[in-house]
Structure 1
């Protein structure tokens, strides 16, 4: 069991490696001379961004607003080397009321199991959390465009569309 704690991180971002349709998603935290990358599913990144935004809308205050976060946007690529410590199984999100901060924990297995989980724990102020959520949303949206008929992702060579009776589009 290893716990990597970034309180606060120098940098915490989501990013991808690979072309649309074959991307691998990562969360990457840097701080205290360490760089930790964990691989994560696209849907987990999307849900994490949505939940952070919902949480900040509820309790974040003015420092968690979109306007403030825009000035803290991190558009740089992931840092190298990108070697995942583990694949994220469970993500926890909490609001630390005493510090007015968001706490994100990524575990390699369910923390309720008997065996201890490897964990990455990141504490973000509302401004950086909002900027992180915005980057995640943009990252997820940058994938393959949806088919106008069935909504499935379009590959460059097309796909078998169930709405058009199996013909390639």
Structure 2
């Protein structure tokens, strides 16, 4: 079956969001264009690295292109989006490989998220989307202007850091019921 491309060339909204309690959260990337919503599952680490790399790319564009190509140095207050994920939340796929680029022709950041195939999951790694395995991968493609990309980074960093608190003794994450702290000789904290 041919791969499906979920293309959001000028989304109304593109965010990271979660469902579930801290420690048990599922992370989603969600793009919304008009009435069309595309949600994909990502790992917390993927969301964190994506925000970090997007921020670095935006800073590079700001420094290298005349006028910064419309990239603000900080998120714009009028674009702040702290609302919940749009419903229904029906994931199209789990993300494996992602690619990130700046299109100098349109002055837009382009993100592609490729499906983690069954073969990738069994191998324990996500292969390049252009490998020659013959596996067709669904892809979410999102194109953002600099200001919306900067807001995506702000929100992603906020969502990722909103997890469980750390134990003051061992720095491991605390569950709702505490944890067995190795620095406290296994005494529940």
Sort the TM-score into its range (normalised by shorter chain).
over 0.9
Who is 2:113 aligned against? 106
Cα gap change, 1:30 to 1:20, in 2 (>3 Å): same
> Could you say which residue in structure 2 is the equivalent of 1:55?
57
Structure 2 residue 85 is matched with structure 1 residue 83: no
Of 30, 33, 49, the residue aligned with 1:31 is 33
Greater C-alpha radius of gyration: 2
1:71 aligns with 2:78: yes
Please report the RMSD computed on the Cα atoms of aligned residues, expressed in angstroms: 1.6
Q: Which runs of 5+ in 1 are unaligned?
A: none
1:78-125 deviations in Å (ceiling 9; x for gaps)? 111101011111111111111111111111133124211100000001
Other-structure match for 2:144: 124
The residue that corresponds to 1:143 in the other structure is 163
Structure 2 unpaired stretches of 5+: 63-67, 117-126
- Give the number of aligned pairs: 169
Separation in 1, partners of 2:170, 2:181: 7
- d(CA) in 2 for partners of 1:145 and 1:65? 31
The one of 102, 113, 116 equivalent to 1:95 is 102
Give the 4+ runs in structure 1 shifted more than 4 A. none
Match of 1:9 in 2: 11
TM-score calculated relative to the size of structure 1? 0.93
1:157 partnered with 2:177: yes
Matched residues in 2 for 1:168 and 1:68: separation?
Answer: 41
TM-score using structure 2 length = 0.83
